[in-house]
Structure 1
């Protein structure tokens, strides 16, 4: 299929266009049809002018020639409406459009169908066409605003994600530093504890040595004291026995003396 045939039967456009026309340069009418002024729409008399202002003609350059294809001003029949529905379903299926969620392909095809509806209603009633044009522009503005908000949200979320990642890395590094510092402090505490316990250990050993000497001395003193007490006890017993002996022997001694002093007959 040549490029001219593609212009006559566009493959991706659901809007009905006229046959392409070869032009050499831009005319004043084409320059005026590039932009649309809603305030000047009421001054437009022909339907073709309104259609050209709503949907600017398509242009394509083939070699050194420029072709222009304007929107068709012929009303659509019932058969064409049915064909448009079938063509929409075919395009949705062929291009793999998703029926749920955000899908650029589905949005593009539905936009083309909406433009075709604007074209058909503008042919029957220019005021309805202009009203639908305003609706289309409002929808486009809303979608653009939502896209801008979404892009800003994505950028903001990405920045927050990067900030959280950086903060997490910083916190992990801080945790490693603190763990290293804690290990060093524990080592220092252990070393300091050994150094602090050394004088106490020496003092304890000295105290134990003194106690041992004291115990030995006390044991020797106890032995000496015990020996002395035993000797004194024996002496006292002997003295007591001697006294008892003397007390028991004195009567006998007195009797003998009396016998010796008694005169013999």
Structure 2
């Protein structure tokens, strides 16, 4: 019995909008004995004493309790080595109970300072409790409606959990991409600095090569002028020598008078 129940010790002491029966001791510590007959008697009196419940037979009440425990599982918690269980009430609700539920909802929203708009886990939890209480009230009168409402509740819960998972994954993906982009930005910035350094080095190298090219061209021009001058001098010397030799040859060849 205890294994099929969900333990939720952190929320047992909180005020809930769902109407529960008095707690019942499930497992007792041998060293500590607690007489629960009084609680069971009070619980029985509350069930039998509520208006409109006298027409419900014992079998129908038991079946209704089983259906309610299936739709709204009992709350269990451990205190001083003892296991306590608290099931939802199977007492039919009256108009006054519905009005009280609405007033309790408004009061709890104000007490917890829940947000009126936007995402608010507190407001969502209170409306979930209110919906569970409505399911409890409807299930007592018509189990089929209760099961249908529980399916709607489970579908809404599953959709909200899917949205939360999607939001968390998308937020994590966005943060991861932001970190990657920041890291990539730093890498690109460093690469830009390296490329700028390479460009500056290449510019300096180009200037050096241009300076060397100018010096080489100037030396080549000077050597060219020197060679041309030397060549012109050699030609002039050869022409002069040729003229002298020609004159001597003509003097030798010319007939004597």
Distance across 2 between alignment mates of 1:20 and 1:94: 26
Greater per-residue helix proportion: 1
The Cα RMSD (Å) is: 2.6
Tell me which of 78, 93, 110 is aligned to 1:61. Answer: 78
Structure with greater Cα Rg: 1
Residue 160 of structure 1 deviates from its aligned partner by 1.8
* Residues 76/45 of structure 1: CA separation in 2 closer, same or farther (3 Å cut): closer
Residue 159 of structure 1 deviates from its aligned partner by 2.4
Kindly indicate whether residue 180 of structure 2 is the aligned counterpart of residue 163 of structure 1: yes
Distance across 1 between alignment mates of 2:108 and 2:178: 39
Counterpart of 2:21 in 1: which secondary structure? coil
Q: How does 1:88-99 map to 2 (within 5 A)?
A: 88-99=105-116
Distance across 2 between alignment mates of 1:193 and 1:56: 90
Distance across 1 between alignment mates of 2:170 and 2:144: 39
Aligned to 1:220: none
Distance across 1 between alignment mates of 2:191 and 2:24: 73
Aligned to 1:221: none
Kindly indicate whether residue 26 of structure 2 is the aligned counterpart of residue 23 of structure 1: yes
Residue 208 of structure 1 deviates from its aligned partner by 9.2
Range 93-102 or range 126-135, more displaced: 93-102
Higher RCO, 1 vs 2 (CA within 8 Å, ≥6 residues apart)? 2
Distance across 2 between alignment mates of 1:77 and 1:144: 33
Aligned to 1:121: 138
Residue 78 of structure 1 deviates from its aligned partner by 2.0
Tell me which of 17, 22, 37 is aligned to 1:14. Answer: 17
Q: How does 1:26-45 map to 2 (within 5 A)?
A: none
Kindly indicate whether residue 198 of structure 2 is the aligned counterpart of residue 195 of structure 1: no
Counterpart of 2:203 in 1: which secondary structure? helix
In structure 2, the gaps of 5 or more residues are 1-10, 29-60, 228-257
Counterpart of 1:18 in 2: which secondary structure? coil
Aligned to 1:173: 190
Counterpart of 1:97 in 2: which secondary structure? coil
Aligned length: 186
Q: TM-score, normalised by structure 1?
A: 0.63
Q: Deviations over 1:174-227 (max 9, x none)?
A: 1011100011011111111111111333456789999xxxxxxxxxxxxxxxxx
Counterpart of 2:68 in 1: which secondary structure? helix
Q: TM-score, normalised by structure 2?
A: 0.65
Counterpart of 2:89 in 1: which secondary structure? coil
Distance across 2 between alignment mates of 1:65 and 1:11: 19
Kindly indicate whether residue 149 of structure 2 is the aligned counterpart of residue 132 of structure 1: yes
Aligned to 1:152: 169
Counterpart of 1:60 in 2: which secondary structure? strand
Residue 79 of structure 1 deviates from its aligned partner by 2.1
Distance across 2 between alignment mates of 1:131 and 1:199: 98
Distance across 1 between alignment mates of 2:78 and 2:131: 27
Counterpart of 2:83 in 1: which secondary structure? strand
Tell me which of 160, 167, 186 is aligned to 1:143. Answer: 160
Distance across 2 between alignment mates of 1:58 and 1:47: 17
Aligned to 2:57: none
Aligned to 2:96: 79
